[in-house]
Amino acid sequence: MSELIFAYDSGEEMTLNMGPQHPSTHGVIRFIVKTDGEIMSEAEPDVGYLHRSIENIAEKCTYEGFMPYTDRVDYVAAMTANHAWAAAVEKLADLAVPPRAEYLRMITDELGRISSHCIALGAMAMDIGAITPFPYALREREYCNDLFEELCGARLTFNYHRIGGVGWDMTDAWRDKALRFCDHFEPVVDEFDRLITHNEIFIKRLANLAVISGDEAKSYGLVGPNLRASGIDFDVRRDHPYSMYTKTKFEVPVGRGRMGTVGDSWDRFWVRVEEWRQSVRIVRQCLEQIQDTPKGEFWNKPKRLKPKGDALARIEAARGEMACYVVGDGGTNAYRARFRTGSFNAMGIIRLKSRGLMVADLVALIASLDIVAPEIDR
Amino acid sequence: MEAQKIFELMAQKCGDAVFGFTAEGTKDPYFKVKPERWLEVARLLRDTPELDFDFLNVLTGVDWIKQNVMQVVYHFYSYRHKHQCVVKIDLDRAKPQVASVESIWKAANWNEREQYDLLGIEFLGHPDLRRILMPDDWVGHPVRKDYKEAAEYRGMPTTRPSPMDLLAAYDKANVKPEDST
């Protein structure tokens, strides 16, 4: 690519605005693109359009009362944001969670990951011009949303997890439905692979594009699928297990550069497809193991919640590690809360990686990092 | 490596720049660092092979207004050794300044900008320290405990009246004739 920049360096660089309202920026983000023809010299992200000061709101309402706001940290995969807040407060206040609740949390987290990756992969294919996979992916997301709706009454912002457990127990009928979804979804992943992942045009479009090396990924703080696509074998669920992840078996897909270089855009796509398979596997095991836990014991409601000190909880969310740091000063409200999200750090690398890319490839880069605007700005 | 051993190794390498190791009564053991020697300590945290903290996980500023302290909390993690450490740096609240670690972990670039924006902590040596989430001409740092929001921003009010008050005012203005008699 670097030869191309010099060839086109005519000294007539122009500055273009991409966004804030642009369909392929995945929310309200603005890019200041410096370009000479099709080749960019730099794209500088400008964020903050969706800043709702969620961390500040946490200081203004009680620990329990903040739960609905955590949904808005990442509204594409709200369950894991719920989980991060609940886990941080429970760690701070030394609360135990009943096993049934832990399984329900895992099931909802993994279903949330599936539905979030549906958006990520479908939208990524659409952003670079393949319209068909998007409705296919959204159809599967609808099934997930139906399951969530039956469980907690909401389809997007769930407010399902509670400090000390979850809000509602599942019924046997719901369990059957979830199992049926697993049976239905596994072949769909294979179909999706045939439709787009191993599509010749798609591979040519994404292989060797915007390669992020392992060292860059670590230094820039990339997490989750983006980190693993760069060849770093790390998953919070396996390496620092929470909930019942020690009792489930799953593999951690790591980018191998099968179609080009380790850490290219295709690897980031492929890692997420493989995570679909692993998530279904975890959901199945959880639905099996949850049978051994007593029904109805799903919430140890804390009587008095006035913790003191600080605690950090790390959760593997759909967009990578979501760490929640909470400081308590002995009052009913948090003294300080902090959400460390995958998208915020992923945005930091775009300026570096955009140098020498084509404008259309910037869209592919943004999509391959699976950026969701509210998670950046919080 | 255990948190205790990490602290002992750091104390061995850089003397009294690190102090105050706390493991009792806290969920994640931490130690404190003198702000003027932070850059040197940070380099050692990443470059010592036994520590190898290659991932700056969370960077948080905490405003302890009663103690008159602005605290910066760093959570580090090592992918190779799978251990973590927590570093806290106490700064003067009136003039919170600490060295930027952007040259060591690139993730610090945006995270330090965010803490500067929300809490007004100045990271010395940062290449591009400007606001990131709030508008560039915003006044004040909103997560500070003594922050008072201005009544309006560029002619737009920052608060709105309670809907209940509006409803009461509406009812009062629209009293039906038979009600008033």
Please give the order of strands across the beta sheet that includes A30-36.
Answer: A14-18, A30-36, A39-46
Q: Which residue of A has its CA nearest to B117?
A: A48
pLDDT band at A86 (very low <50, low <70, confident <90, very high): very high
Q: Are the CB atoms for A45 and A350 separated by under 8 Å? A: yes
pLDDT recorded at residue A181: 92
pLDDT band at A2 (very low <50, low <70, confident <90, very high): very low
* Residue B181 pLDDT > 60: no
Block residue for tokens 């053991």: B29
> Tens of pLDDT along A209-239?
888 888 889 889 899 899 999 988 899 988 8
Q: Are the CB atoms for A79 and A318 separated by under 8 Å? A: no
Give this complex's ipTM.
0.84
> Tens of pLDDT along A160-198?
998 988 888 888 899 999 999 999 999 999 988 888 888
Taking the C-alpha atoms of residue A243 and residue B117, their distance in angstroms, rounded to an integer, is 35
Chain A: give the shortest CA distance to residue B118, in Å: 9
Helix (H, G, I), strand (E, B) or coil at A126: helix
Residue to mutate among B27, B74, B153, with most A CBs inside 10 A, is: B27
> Tens of pLDDT along A236-272?
988 888 888 888 888 899 988 888 888 888 999 999 9
pLDDT band at A8 (very low <50, low <70, confident <90, very high): low
pLDDT band at A11 (very low <50, low <70, confident <90, very high): low
First-to-last alpha carbon distance for chain A, in angstroms, is: 35
Q: Which residues of A311-333 are buried (b: 16+ CB within 10 A; e: fewer)?
A: bbbbbbbbbbbbbbbbbbeeeeb
CB neighbour class for A279 (10 Å; exposed up to 12, middle 13-18, buried from 19): buried
pLDDT recorded at residue A87: 92
Of B112, B93, B86, give the one whose Cα is nearest residue A309: B86
pLDDT band at B72 (very low <50, low <70, confident <90, very high): very high
CA angle, B49 then A325 then A245, to 5°: 75
Q: Which residues of B touch A51 (CB under 8 A)?
A: 133-134
Q: Which residues of B touch A312 (CB under 8 A)?
A: 27-28, 58, 75, 86
Mean pLDDT of A32-49: 86
* Strand ranges for chain B from DSSP E: 18-22, 30-33, 55-64, 69-77, 84-92, 97-99, 122-124, 152-153, 156-157
pLDDT recorded at residue A3: 47
> Tens of pLDDT along B44-69?
888 888 888 989 989 999 999 888 89
Of A17, A15, A23, A16, give the one whose Cα is nearest residue A373: A23
